[in-house]
Structure 1
């Protein structure tokens, strides 16, 4: 008799891998201990992967495929769940992976255009102004930031909902030419069916958002991780209570935002009046 698989694969990418591993193990009529012996891992490692408490190695997935007689099914899922990150600083790698596989992203940006919506010229100026970066490091970080935009080219791109403070439209990053190109790019991106850009006006207090930028990653409707920006490096959060609090803050800021059609009109007016 097949046991019930009690983990929800929709909860997160890691939960999906755990679900599939356990499903295939049960179908092969193997205990966790028997599977562990065949692949050369401990039974506790198998148990922790199946309960989504431990991230396996790619080799783990490949060996499980061999045991179950699968043609790269778990290895392929591993690559989907844990894709190689873009070339970004070490402290940002965890978030870069989540950004690549999330089905939805909710962003709040009170100071700058969010990284995945930046033009090359805008991003380059930010890196050029960062103390201590060499020319080579600037090029590496720029390549990583541009590669992050590949999520919009996927056959199933994530839904991206972005809140941007109105003051960001007036901050002179790189001069008029760079700002004009950047803001026109925002309007262009807002025309995509799965991208929503909303401007939070000057006169909105939005006090819950003044403590800094953050991004929320969702998998099939479930928010499972958050990136909080802070000096000097920021951090990625998976604590459920913290995520719930940040979602509440995001919703409070969004309540003060202009709708998208009006936001795009405001962006276009700023371009015409200030950056032309």
Structure 2
């Protein structure tokens, strides 16, 4: 039997409470499974944090145990819905909330998780044919994605950016300065590490495009790769391995965390 600490995370609380109420009701995993239409193994995996429940699963368990929405409330806390992002980005937005570690590389822009509203708005407005309503929606969605960093159990984020990102004009001088000041704040977040790849580093392969890697307890399980007209989420093991190897090679050329922070602070002073 796996001991679950209910204080470890919202997901752990859900698993703990599911098992506790099942035992209080005097039911086996198989009996609960038959009552809600899921397999015995599914009940067991949810109780041991090996599988995530669905919304319907949580609601059905509430009905079986007559809990009046208790488990559903815990489900929403543990697995909140992803922001209303474009369809091609939905899978990755969900992984940003679920992953225990995120590894990001961006050779051109500040990563979306660290963008200020004015910086994001200027970038999004550049899309051909986009309406003002679509701009507002996408900016709002990008800002909502930041909740991944400020929840009860945020992921570790290892972000590597090219030095050119600090010098790239995006809108006005004030927009860039505000953005870099915010990046300094994010670099001091206890679960965020930002490193800068300097000009001249042997990281040419990384210039082909940005990407992100999502890990669960040390195991990379999906990646998001930027491309035109839009990016895509990939879960093919062979491609994930190649992206992870590329990320490690790029990060190997980056400055240390402390030196990178000094570079960002120096860049802030240049945008006056």
Please classify the TM superposition score into its range, dividing by the shorter chain length: 0.7 to 0.9
Q: Which moved more, 1:246-255 or 1:63-72?
A: 63-72
Partner SS for 1:269: helix
Query: Would the aligned equivalents of 1:49 and 1:55 in 2 still touch at CA under 8 Å?
Result: no
Q: Which residue of 2 aligns with 1:89?
A: 86
Pairing of 1:1-276 with structure 2 (within 5 A): 28-31=27-30, 35=32, 37-39=34-36, 41=37, 57-67=54-64, 74-76=71-73, 78-80=75-77, 82-273=79-270, 275-276=271-272
Query: Would the aligned equivalents of 1:80 and 1:101 in 2 still touch at CA under 8 Å?
Result: no
The TM-score, its normalising length taken from structure 1, stands at: 0.80
Q: Name structure 1 gaps, 5 residues minimum.
A: 6-12
The TM-score, its normalising length taken from structure 2, stands at: 0.81
Query: Number of residues paired by the alignment?
Result: 260
Query: Would the aligned equivalents of 1:237 and 1:243 in 2 still touch at CA under 8 Å?
Result: yes
Post-superposition shift, 1:160? Answer: 1.2
Change (3 A) 1:271 1:36: closer
Query: Would the aligned equivalents of 1:157 and 1:194 in 2 still touch at CA under 8 Å?
Result: yes
Q: Name structure 2 gaps, 5 residues minimum.
A: 3-9
Query: Would the aligned equivalents of 1:19 and 1:50 in 2 still touch at CA under 8 Å?
Result: no
Deviations 1:51-81, CA, capped at 9 Å, x for gaps: 7999864123221343356675653554355
Tell me how far apart the structure 1 counterparts of residues 95 and 194 of structure 2 sit (CA, whole Å).
Answer: 21
